[in-house]
């Protein structure tokens, strides 16, 4: 509700004036700034263009349920205190929920969540959704310390400005993401080269020794060298295969060809292929369970999980499968020590191995990263939870039409 005389009837008095203000905030030079600089510059210009005292931008968080203060002018505490407003609650939450402009003429009589607005003595506010590519990415609002009725011209100006701000933020966020991906790729190449160097130089050293000095060595030493050469070459081959898999998965060129698969015989043959004779893997799957899935991907993921259970876990190792809510769930469990709590956040990272596992078996730390990428490529996921009463429990979930 509006009470008392308006401080002004809005700043856009003439069309030329409005155009100039618009140009100030849509200045092409701003397109090259990084997100923080861009917001810093834009917020000042928006505040001035609307002759307001404060201006703030709140962005939707990853879950899409809360707004997080990202930049502010005249309301810096909002960002410093990391204010979060649930969508639908208070003033900012309402702008986001309605995806429409909202005006508060008198803050004293309004429902606001953010205490800083009152602490700062803000009286009137105008909020606008930030939409880019048809998607809500946040909201922006301007406020005044005196009572003010924002006119239609003010609303139109803020609307155009909000479009520009949303595009700028979207572009800057995309740029930040590209920088992040670039950094990840550089790290990946460095790590891959590092991992390849050791078996590659061992293979070269062994081959060079055999070539130059075979005649000086007795048959036993030659056989030993050849065996080591074979092992290292095998390690190198597997590593190159893993890196190629990851590269296909990253570039999304991995082929997914679902066919109807009878799961019990399929999982039994995967277990047999991976587990050396004598290792008993219990495959507990309904006889008639079938699903439309990529048999090779299942083999890859489950084979990897069983290998890990044999390496780092302890028997009994069980493989179970069932189908609920149009999803196929395959669980591989063991009764070993499980994954240490402090290592769980890194379990699916590339090239990560726990300190303990380094003493248990040779490995690259790529198995689970690849398995999870396969799951994602199928629109599913690979999850870890500790098993009960002890051990590890890995669950592969993939959307699949089934007979179940
Ligand atoms: N069943 C398990 N029980 C306990 N720890 C596990 C289990 N499976 C995996 N881990 C831990 O997770 C780490 C990462 O596993 P991942 O399969 O990605 O790599 P790796 O087995 O070390 O090497 P690679 O599979 O590339 O040969 C392992 O090194 C181990 O520390
Ligand atoms: Mg592994």
pLDDT at 343 over 60: yes
**If you average pLDDT over residues 298-314, what whole number do you get?**
95
- Lowest mean pLDDT segment, chosen from 47-56, 193-202, 343-352, 363-372: 193-202
Angle at 191 between CA 187 and CA 194, to 5 degrees: 140
Query: Looking at ligand 1, which atom is closest to the CA of residue 352?
Result: 14
Query: Which residues is 261 bridged to in the sheet?
Result: 291
Q: For residue 109, what is the DSSP state?
A: G
- The more confidently predicted of residues 165 and 278 is 165
Summary mean pLDDT of the chain: 86
User: Which ranges of 214-330 would DSSP assign to H, the alpha helix?
Assistant: 219-250, 263-274, 295-312
> Of all protein residues, whose CA lies closest to atom 25 belonging to ligand 1?
367
pLDDT at 8 over 50: no
Q: Which ligand is nearest to the CA of 309?
A: 1
Quick one: pLDDT band at residue 6, thresholds 50, 70, 90? very low
Residue in 305, 308, 313, 354 to alter for ligand 1 test, most ligand atoms within 8 A of Cβ: 308
Quick one: pLDDT band at residue 29, thresholds 50, 70, 90? low
CA atoms of 112 and 390, how far apart (whole Å): 49
CB 11 within 8 A of CB 21: yes
Which domains, and CATH codes, for the chain? 15-178 (3.30.450.40), 184-250 (1.10.287.130), 259-399 (3.30.565.10)
CB 129 within 8 A of CB 106: no
pLDDT, one tens digit per residue, over 130-154 is: 999 899 999 999 999 999 999 998 9
Residues near ligand 1 (Cβ within 6 A): 308-309, 312-313, 334, 336, 338-339, 347, 353-354, 357, 363-369, 392
User: Which ranges of 261-379 would DSSP assign to H, the alpha helix?
Assistant: 263-274, 295-312, 355-360, 367-377
> Of all protein residues, whose CA lies closest to atom 9 belonging to ligand 1?
308
In angstroms, what is the span from residue 345 Cα to ligand 1's centroid?
A: 13
Q: Which ligand is nearest to the CA of 346?
A: 1
In angstroms, what is the span from residue 305 Cα to ligand 2's centroid?
A: 7
Tokens of 24: 């100030």
Query: Looking at ligand 1, which atom is closest to the CA of residue 370?
Result: 18
Q: Which ligand is nearest to the CA of 392?
A: 1
Residue 243 CA, distance from chain mean position: 21
CB 25 within 8 A of CB 45: yes
CA atoms of 366 and 353, how far apart (whole Å): 9
pLDDT, one tens digit per residue, over 208-266 is: 999 998 888 899 999 999 999 998 899 899 889 888 888 888 777 777 888 999 999 99
């Amino acid at each position: 509700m509006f009470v008392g005389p308006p401080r002004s009837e809005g700043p856009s008095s003439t069309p030329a004036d409005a155009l100039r203000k618009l140009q100030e905030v849509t200045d092409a030079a701003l397109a090259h700034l990084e997100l923080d600089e861009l917001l810093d510059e834009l917020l000042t210009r928006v505040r001035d263009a609307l002759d307001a005292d404060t201006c703030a931008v709140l962005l939707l968080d990853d879950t899409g349920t809360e707004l997080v203060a990202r930049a502010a002018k005249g309301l810096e505490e909002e960002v410093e205190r990391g204010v979060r407003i649930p969508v639908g609650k208070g003033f900012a939450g309402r702008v986001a929920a309605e995806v429409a402009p909202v005006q508060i003429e008198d803050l004293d009589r309004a429902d606001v969540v953010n205490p800083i607005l009152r602490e700062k003595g803000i009286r009137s506010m105008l909020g606008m959704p930030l939409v880019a590519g048809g998607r809500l990415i946040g909201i922006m609002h301007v406020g005044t310390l005196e009572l003010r009725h924002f006119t239609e011209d003010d609303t139109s100006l803020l609307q155009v400005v909000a479009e520009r701000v949303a595009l700028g933020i979207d572009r800057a966020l995309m740029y930040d993401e590209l920088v992040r991906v670039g950094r990840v790729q550089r790290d990946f190449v460095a790590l891959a080269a590092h991992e390849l160097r050791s078996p590659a130089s061992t293979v070269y050293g062994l081959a060079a020794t055999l070539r130059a000095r075979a005649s000086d060595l007795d048959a036993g030493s030659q056989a030993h060298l050849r065996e080591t050469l074979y092992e290292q070459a095998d390690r190198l081959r597997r590593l190159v295969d893993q890196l190629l898999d990851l590269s296909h998965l990253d570039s999304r060129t991995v082929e997914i060809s679902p066919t109807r698969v009878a799961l019990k015989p399929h999982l039994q043959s995967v277990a047999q292929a991976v587990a050396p004779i004598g290792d008993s893997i219990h495959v507990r799957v309904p006889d008639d369970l079938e699903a439309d899935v990529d048999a090779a991907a299942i083999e890859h993921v489950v084979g990897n999980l069983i290998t890990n259970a044999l390496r780092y876990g302890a028997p009994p190792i069980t493989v179970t499968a069932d189908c609920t809510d149009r999803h196929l769930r395959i669980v591989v469990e063991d009764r070993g020590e499980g994954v240490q709590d402090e290592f769980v956040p890194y379990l699916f990272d590339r090239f990560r191995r726990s300190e303990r596992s380094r003493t248990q078996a040779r490995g690259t730390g790529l198995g689970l990263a690849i398995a999870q990428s396969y799951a994602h490529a199928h629109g599913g996921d690979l999850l870890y939870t500790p098993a009960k009463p002890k051990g590890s429990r890995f669950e592969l979930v993939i959307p699949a039409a089934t007979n179940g």
